[in-house]
Structure 1
């Protein structure tokens, strides 16, 4: 415990418990930033003395206040907080049935971090934080680790688990930078390999407590800046209701048209057949070819996300806008998670459509688990996940805690397993992301050769698809999902990309149908029937 009575916790160590809440101060809320006048007082934590004591030991210190959340929603808060600029919205639905406790909304990042073959670059710097000067002597992976080490903040009692940090994406082509996997034609990708928003200010919805947590992270000597940032956030939220109404049935209605595909059905079946030949020749055990369909998206990505979160809720719901690209996602699959020193992967492979009743669901589950092709594919990916985690975990700690269970999602069901390990003391959370990226469920196994075959047969760079979206908090926790079931919006178009796992006894027509079944969960959100002009935009 330090002198404030607040537990000092190493951001890389597993916290035993959270410390008690620091002292507080009260600020009269009379400032409005483009919204309605505020008729409340902000009770700010910690107070100035407690802040100064924490700032002596930490590069950043969270400063926060709470409000009731009865007039704003995460979706309405996003344009209020982010405007037309970069921002991120995170939500979650557990097992497609219950909304998660927290939603996270942020805009106005302190900076944007871009990582490419030349190194780490800072763009659009709005506020100075201790990121350090980018060095060309460091590899991209080393540069990210160095920046993360400088951007640390304590875990404090009363705060949600996610309050800020590096938040963004790693494109599929980032595999070369993160772990040396060869990705031919990576320079043709439509986006930088890695992009992170440096989020130091955020609004966190605690749905259980019906509270909004306004939080900012500031260095030593800038306590007043923190208070002003909270007042500014509160003022923005006071005017958060500017989105147009959307018909309740619109999100679930069937899509219009087939879109513009990057390959026809015959070509995809040919690729599946070619991959089977490579499998029979012993080149790979499995590979995951994908196909892309593109639609017009004149209203941008936020209306797509509004429909998607209703029509296809999932454990990882996100809307990310940065670097001329928008990602609206409902991914079912985590790539890797680090909480304290516990590292977790949860491979998903094996798919059936949902039934029309609980009885038909049970029949389909039995059929899925009895399918030798699906079981073999899943077992290979479980082994791959164990090998990946073994590279960063303490010897003997990698183990399955859940094996071949069926989990139901909105439109499909999957076989899932959970693999856990204890992160080695010489490893950082970001190393766990690097060694698991990209997921074997979107490449195949062995991963390197499967990626080479994908590059040979797919006509385009994958870009954001099959990469990862997530965050690394200032307290050291990491959580990234695989960028599947995701709509990529750029230059007035929205693309949907889906793949299927090919093994030795795969049927090309069946694998084609699987890609279309997965796309069917997204297309109603991208091109809903009769939706012209109804969704609105940021």
Structure 2
């Protein structure tokens, strides 16, 4: 399928172009924060999909269900297939999210926790145009298959000085609350430790959910938070059922020319304004036997997950126990690669690897059952995945940690960590707070 490209003015920030479309139907901003993290070089902005693929909990018996939704996406991608170009990450295709709860459906876990959000299990829009910023080449362009009113508006848009200096409006209107007290969180960790001792599991990821009331524009909130919470796999997503604000540092899957890469995070230390303390925290993470063991468990799990659909012998651990530093935390990250087997497909691989092992634990099924038993509320988009499948079958999906849901002037976000046999309860609780500290600090100002 052919597409057209028109260059745009790279000096205009992508945030300003998104201002034009932010209130459009299913508007999306995939934000690389390249100036801070060179892992990603592209920003992608779009809206008004030509088709919507939605899976709700009530769809178990309908034409689209948990098992065939990726067949539906695959058929659309094949029908509109484009030739792959290295400099173009997304030539139209599917952009959206899979909720963590979709993972429960895939693994036949009948959820016991309380569902608090009316978000779908899966939602992908099929988009035939987008704005792309290539921050490595310092160029921006609009790509489209057919001209429409939005494309014409963007190509011909003249920004005013007022628009370029527009102030943002957002404030919190209630104090932040967790769905678990410290004592309750402590009791949940003790329960996990008892399961580990009995041999049920080796590691379980436990999270608490925070909430507060707010007033103002959600995209303004995203921009304010992004200034201190920027990450390479960030996203702002505008849906009628709510907004998603993701500041994820973690890649779930990248696929290009049938080569798949995953970069699990396991191991965290807080940043400090005191340089000596910051260096000490980094060194402690780098040399921690506990964190290395925890990371290695997940590496082994993901090698097995990828191995279901990858060519025999192709899976390699490219990097083990690398340190990646972000605004508020240091993380221990590993990189695993493989080649998708010709007898399978990228769609089978995505489904069989979901949800990412770094946010479940090991073994995956049992840890997911324990998470469902112990966490009071459903995770929804948190710990799911956000990203795209392009018409040329390039894929980039995050793990949607550091991710917030804005619904009816209430904001929800989570913090958690992996519990293993030698976990210290107080340290694990502090880690769950450290991961969301910039959010808490922003809302307390």
TM-score of the pair, normalised by structure 1: 0.76
Task: Say whether 1:485 aligns with 2:402.
Answer: yes
8 Å CA contact retained: 1:120, 1:144: no
Task: Say whether 1:393 aligns with 2:310.
Answer: yes
**Deviations 1:289-313 (CA, angstroms, capped at 9, x unpaired):** 1111101122242112101221011
Tell me by how many angstroms 1:360 deviates: 3.8
Counterpart of 2:126 (choices 198, 205, 221) is 198
Secondary structure of 2:344 counterpart: coil
Counterpart of 1:69 (choices 10, 16, 30) is 10
8 Å CA contact retained: 1:393, 1:421: yes
Residue 109 (structure 2) aligns with: 182
Structure 1 residues 114-133: aligned runs within 5 Å: 114-116=54-56, 118=59
Tell me by how many angstroms 1:214 deviates: 1.2
Structure with greater contact order relative to length (CA < 8 Å, sep ≥ 6) = 2
Structure 1 residues 340-355: aligned runs within 5 Å: 340-355=257-272
Tell me by how many angstroms 1:321 deviates: 1.2
Q: Aligned partners of 1:192, 1:155: CA distance in 2, in Å?
A: 31
8 Å CA contact retained: 1:334, 1:481: yes
Tell me by how many angstroms 1:380 deviates: 0.5
Q: Aligned partners of 2:103, 2:65: CA distance in 1, in Å?
A: 19
Change beyond 3 A, Cα 1:227–1:93: closer
8 Å CA contact retained: 2:174, 2:213: no
Tell me by how many angstroms 1:113 deviates: 1.4
Q: Aligned partners of 2:113, 2:70: CA distance in 1, in Å?
A: 17
Counterpart of 2:77 (choices 145, 148, 159) is 148
Secondary structure of 2:238 counterpart: strand
8 Å CA contact retained: 1:301, 1:327: no
Task: Say whether 1:79 aligns with 2:19.
Answer: yes
Counterpart of 1:326 (choices 243, 250, 255) is 243
Moved more, 61-70 or 265-274: 61-70
Residue 8 (structure 1) aligns with: none
Task: Say whether 1:92 aligns with 2:27.
Answer: no
Tell me by how many angstroms 1:374 deviates: 1.4
Secondary structure of 2:343 counterpart: coil
Structure 1 residues 321-470: aligned runs within 5 Å: 321-356=238-273, 359-470=276-387
Q: Aligned partners of 1:237, 1:388: CA distance in 2, in Å?
A: 49
Q: How many residues align?
A: 442
8 Å CA contact retained: 2:50, 2:127: yes
Change beyond 3 A, Cα 1:120–1:166: farther
Secondary structure of 2:163 counterpart: coil
Secondary structure of 1:244 counterpart: coil
Q: Aligned partners of 1:77, 1:413: CA distance in 2, in Å?
A: 32
8 Å CA contact retained: 1:76, 1:242: yes
Counterpart of 1:272 (choices 168, 183, 189) is 189
Counterpart of 1:231 (choices 152, 156, 176) is 152
Q: Aligned partners of 1:277, 1:425: CA distance in 2, in Å?
A: 43
Change beyond 3 A, Cα 1:152–1:243: farther
Counterpart of 2:90 (choices 131, 145, 162) is 162
Task: Say whether 1:112 aligns with 2:39.
Answer: no
Q: Aligned partners of 1:491, 1:84: CA distance in 2, in Å?
A: 18
Q: Aligned partners of 1:521, 1:269: CA distance in 2, in Å?
A: 23
Counterpart of 1:309 (choices 220, 226, 229) is 226
**Deviations 1:423-459 (CA, angstroms, capped at 9, x unpaired):** 1112222222212211111111111111111111111
Tell me by how many angstroms 1:154 deviates: 2.2
Secondary structure of 2:25 counterpart: coil
Tell me by how many angstroms 1:138 deviates: 7.1
Q: Which stretches in structure 1 are left out of the alignment for 5+ residues? A: 1-59, 122-133, 218-224, 530-538
8 Å CA contact retained: 2:55, 2:65: no
Change beyond 3 A, Cα 1:137–1:337: closer
Tell me by how many angstroms 1:407 deviates: 1.3
Change beyond 3 A, Cα 1:464–1:137: closer
8 Å CA contact retained: 2:248, 2:401: yes
8 Å CA contact retained: 1:63, 1:227: no
Q: Aligned partners of 1:467, 1:507: CA distance in 2, in Å?
A: 27
Tell me by how many angstroms 1:110 deviates: 1.4
Tell me by how many angstroms 1:137 deviates: 12
Change beyond 3 A, Cα 1:473–1:165: same
Moved more, 278-287 or 141-150: 141-150
Change beyond 3 A, Cα 1:195–1:97: closer
8 Å CA contact retained: 2:270, 2:431: no
Tell me by how many angstroms 1:371 deviates: 2.3
Larger Rg: 1 or 2? Answer: 1
Q: Aligned partners of 1:136, 1:403: CA distance in 2, in Å?
A: 37
**Deviations 1:489-526 (CA, angstroms, capped at 9, x unpaired):** 1111111111111111112211111111111132345x
8 Å CA contact retained: 1:106, 1:199: yes
Q: Aligned partners of 1:229, 1:323: CA distance in 2, in Å?
A: 19
8 Å CA contact retained: 1:76, 1:243: no
Q: Aligned partners of 2:80, 2:107: CA distance in 1, in Å?
A: 26
